[in-house]
Amino acid sequence: MHAVMEQESQFEEYTKTFRVEESMIDRNHHLNNVVCVEWIQDIAVEHSEVTGGTKKMEELGCGWMIRTQHVEYKAQAFLNDEIVGTTWVPEYSKISTNRYSKFVRKSDGKEIFSAVTTWVLVDLNRGRPIAIPEEIKSFFRKK
């Protein structure tokens, strides 16, 4: 199991607020786990888009693909809860990075779930992993 690392100040965080809607509630009357996984991906994609990383990857013909994902569910979220998601990328290996995400209920600050997702940079034409260029890494560092 991975524990979410402490955020380091040199890394750019991205935050987004989500609202639990009726269609997201499962038969146990709380936020469906599938929605949690969707939010993890949504916030990662948006972070890349707002930093310019997505555009640069399109120019380079590469993209991120998930290798592994570990999600820890810590509390339940219910209809109309506002959940604040935060994501950051503090570390890289040659071809992959771990992206950390944390989702907290706005009303009481309770952590609902967290995740560590290992993303691999892939050459989209060849379908093979490639080394992560410094210019891609720079999109997720504080300017």
pLDDT tens for each residue of 79-116:
999 999 999 999 999 999 999 999 999 999 999 999 99
Please report whether residue 54 resides in a domain: yes
Q: Is the predicted pLDDT of residue 41 greater than 50, yes or no?
A: yes
Please report whether residue 3 resides in a domain: no
Query: What pLDDT is attached to residue 5?
Result: 42
| Counted domains in the chain | 1
Please report whether residue 65 resides in a domain: yes
**Can you give the CATH number for the domain in which 106 is found?**
3.10.129.10
Please report whether residue 112 resides in a domain: yes
Q: Report the pLDDT averaged over residues 116-122.
A: 98
pTM: 0.89
Range of the domain at 75: 11-137
Please report whether residue 5 resides in a domain: no
Please report whether residue 17 resides in a domain: yes
Residue 9 — very low, low, confident or very high, per pLDDT cuts 50/70/90? low
Q: Report the pLDDT averaged over residues 62-82.
A: 98
Give the closest residue to 129 by CA, choosing from 96, 88, 87: 96
Please report whether residue 142 resides in a domain: no
